[in-house]
Amino acid sequence: MLYRNILLFVTIAASVGATALPDLGLPVTTAPEPREVALGKKLFMDRRLSANGTLSCAMCHIPEQGFAQNQLATPVGFNGRTVKRNSPTLLNVAYRKVLFHDGREFTLANQVWSPLLSAREMGNVSIGAVIKRLQDLDDYETAFEAVFDEGISITTVGAALAAYENSLIAGGSPFDEWRFGKNTSAVTSDAKQGFSIFIRHGCSNCHTLSEEFAQFTDDKFYNTGIGFDRSMNVPIRETQLIRLSETVAIKTSQSFHAEHLNDLGRYEMTGKSSDKWKYRTPTLRNVALTAPYMHDGSISSLRQVVEFYMKGGIKNDGLDPRILPFTLNETEIKQLLSFLESLTSPYVEALVHDARDGGIGDY
């Protein structure tokens, strides 16, 4: 059945005073079942889902930080262990054809078991252990039974979390209002010029859009040189106070070399040598909210990403032939940045508010 969650939409539209729909510029999706969304949100925010009760999904996909993590290139996971890649945004993840930077997973419902069971992320020893813990918590037994006949199971934990993730639709940006809503004053002339630069320099070969929609990704894999560079140069982290939620922050001790974890990208999934250091094209929707950038978080600002492309990426044998050096003057750089900033959805704020409006305690 195709329907919208009318109440949520009315609330969101009223709070941002917007005329566009959250999915303007995106294909219409089947809205997830609201009770499944509410249960999934509770799970998403709950630190008790990690083996020692310290880490929730929302601490690496932080709502206030674009459902990504702005302060760390790669997250700190279970017991302080290093996670090897940057936290991707979960905004619009409903539209991804493949999941993870290397595309090793395909459905949201299955994907959840990867962080839950990873020794570097939530540290659970088995699916059974997670299900048993949830069964032992009074608030989940009844909550699951109210939504799913079969109660708490491998399927329903995945389905609930996926329903919540599928509700994180954030289109209707100023760019969408201009291009798809035909509102010529929705963006500045700088942003319009920036869009022309984006097309002219071939960015849309990979960050694709069509006449009807703009995903700004083709969900395919390319070598831009970032992976190659990462393998050759181990980054140094400085001492930092890292905020993981409204109430929890950690301080990293001493400057330290992040533990060097080998990362060969898409090759790890396919075993094909031509896939070495290829990563999925990330969407550019809401990109202004999701610094730092690239699969390893190695680039800290959008301006530096633009400079990276102007230099033609990083040379290596597998560099994609479409990544070529080009020149922009200062005005053009600002225009390209204005365009990228026009991709921020006005609906994100309401999704953040909704994420924190559940009250499961100290999360």
Binding site for ligand HEC (CB under 6 A): 49, 55, 57, 59-61, 75, 77, 83, 85, 87-88, 90, 93, 96, 99-101, 108, 111-112, 115-116, 121-122, 161, 165, 198, 201-203, 205-207, 222, 224, 226-227, 279, 281-282, 284, 287, 290, 293-295, 302, 305-306, 309, 320, 322-323
How many CA atoms are closer than 13 Å to the CA of 92, on its beta-carbon side? 29
State the nearest-atom distance from the C-beta of 301 to ligand HEC, in Å. 10
Q: Say how far apart CA 221 and CA 184 lie, in whole Å.
A: 34
How many CA atoms are closer than 13 Å to the CA of 171, on its beta-carbon side? 26
State the nearest-atom distance from the C-beta of 172 to ligand HEC, in Å. 19
Residue among 143 and 305 whose Cβ is closer to ligand HEC: 305
State the nearest-atom distance from the C-beta of 19 to ligand HEC, in Å. 27
State the nearest-atom distance from the C-beta of 15 to ligand HEC, in Å. 25
Give the Å distances, CA to CA, from 64 to 56, 74, 207, 289.
14, 17, 25, 9
| Neighbouring residues of 348: CB distance < 8 A, sequence distance ≥ 6 | 66, 91, 170, 286, 289
Residue among 18 and 99 whose Cβ is closer to ligand HEC: 99
Could you tell me which of 251, 320, 291, 235 has the C-alpha nearest to residue 89?
Answer: 291
Contact 123, 73 (CB under 8 A): no
State the nearest-atom distance from the C-beta of 99 to ligand HEC, in Å. 4
State the nearest-atom distance from the C-beta of 266 to ligand HEC, in Å. 10
Residue among 13 and 58 whose Cβ is closer to ligand HEC: 58
Contact 222, 206 (CB under 8 A): yes
Contact 48, 131 (CB under 8 A): no
Residue among 18 and 48 whose Cβ is closer to ligand HEC: 48
Residue among 8 and 112 whose Cβ is closer to ligand HEC: 112
Query: What torsion do the CA atoms of 31, 36, 38, 41 make, to the nearest 10 degrees?
Result: -90
Residue among 116 and 143 whose Cβ is closer to ligand HEC: 116
State the first-to-last Cα distance of the chain, in angstroms, to the nearest integer.
34
State the nearest-atom distance from the C-beta of 347 to ligand HEC, in Å. 18
Residue among 11 and 312 whose Cβ is closer to ligand HEC: 312
